[in-house]
Structure 1
Amino acid sequence: MCNRDKRVLHILKRRVEGKRPADIIDMLWRENMLNPLMMERQYIKEEVEHRVRNGEAKMRAIEMVAYDIGCSFEKVRSVVYRK
């Protein structure tokens, strides 16, 4: 971690100190400090993994996640298989 990252992290720690997790998330969202694209990718990965762990075939899980969030099968597939 570089010095700049350490300073930013220090400032962020001060801002969230003593706050409830829900309040921290709300603050980060309001101040555009969260990356919606990365959050969507993480949701897709976790949801497909969850469905597969619960017995659903992987391709079916990808298809259903795509349907549930209203995007293409190809988009979900590419997120799941991206390293």
Structure 2
Amino acid sequence: MDLSPGQGCGRRADCVRAVGWWEKSSPSTDLAHLKASGVGVYAVANRDEAGTRHGAPLTFRNLGEGQAKLLIGPATHCASRSG
């Protein structure tokens, strides 16, 4: 499915909701497959991620130190880089 405006979607946000964005992008959806694969995961978030702030720590906790690394930055969600 093409999610760009003009390709069946009026606004990208509407398209993202239509395809179940959170289910498709969340590691928890395929947690069993991730664990079984042994693939290394970097779970990264900013300190203040609004409603998604628990995602990276939960991913790290669910996969464990042997398979995941956790990095939490000092900014807010989608903060722009200054300078």
TM-score, scaled to structure 1: 0.30
Higher helix fraction (1 or 2): 1
Say which structure is richer in strand.
2
Greater RCO (Cα-Cα under 8 Å, separation 6 or more): 2
Relative to the length of structure 2, the TM-score reads 0.30
